[in-house]
């Protein structure tokens, strides 16, 4: 895919249960591997998933891929993990507690980032 043909898609993670987290990560990795840019927007309801050590709790789920591998793959393929800034004070999370590669952004700013996205998925 030529550079000027690269599009973007959005995956919104609303919940921190295993089903929602794994579905969002699998879809995000699939989008990233297709050559599209994926923007993973994490709402406060799923914010703790981006804290160091939290994705590790989803490792070894029967029939599921490794969430750390999915996370890393998304970043390597130029995907972005963007945490809604409200997730920090609501859950008493400090920026230094977040996994490497997480951006923190206001929802209104994210709306500009996702302008022109082809599709969006919400989990």
- pLDDT digit string (tens) for 54-98? 999 999 999 999 999 999 999 999 999 999 999 999 999 999 999
What is the largest distance, in Å, between two alpha-carbon atoms of the chain? 42
Q: How far apart are CA 117 and CA 45, in angstroms?
A: 23
Mean residue pLDDT of the chain comes to 94
Distance from the Cα of residue 55 to its chain's centroid? 12
- 3-state SS assignment for residue 119: coil
8-state DSSP, 17: S
Give the pLDDT score at 6. 72
Give the pLDDT score at 78. 96
| Domain ranges for the chain | 3-122
Say which CATH class 3-122 falls into: alpha beta
């Amino acid at each position: 895919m030529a550079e000027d043909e690269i599009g973007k898609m959005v995956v919104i993670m609303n919940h921190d249960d295993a089903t929602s987290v794994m579905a969002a990560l699998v879809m995000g990795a699939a989008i990233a591997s297709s050559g599209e840019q994926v923007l993973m927007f994490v709402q406060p309801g799923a914010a703790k998933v981006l804290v160091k050590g939290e994705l590790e709790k989803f490792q070894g789920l029967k029939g599921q891929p490794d969430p750390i591998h999915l996370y890393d793959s998304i970043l390597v393929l130029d995907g972005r993990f963007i945490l809604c800034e409200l997730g920090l004070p609501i859950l008493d999370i400090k920026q230094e507690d977040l996994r490497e590669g997480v951006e923190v952004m206001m929802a209104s700013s994210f709306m500009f980032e996702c302008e022109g996205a082809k599709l969006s998925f919400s989990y």
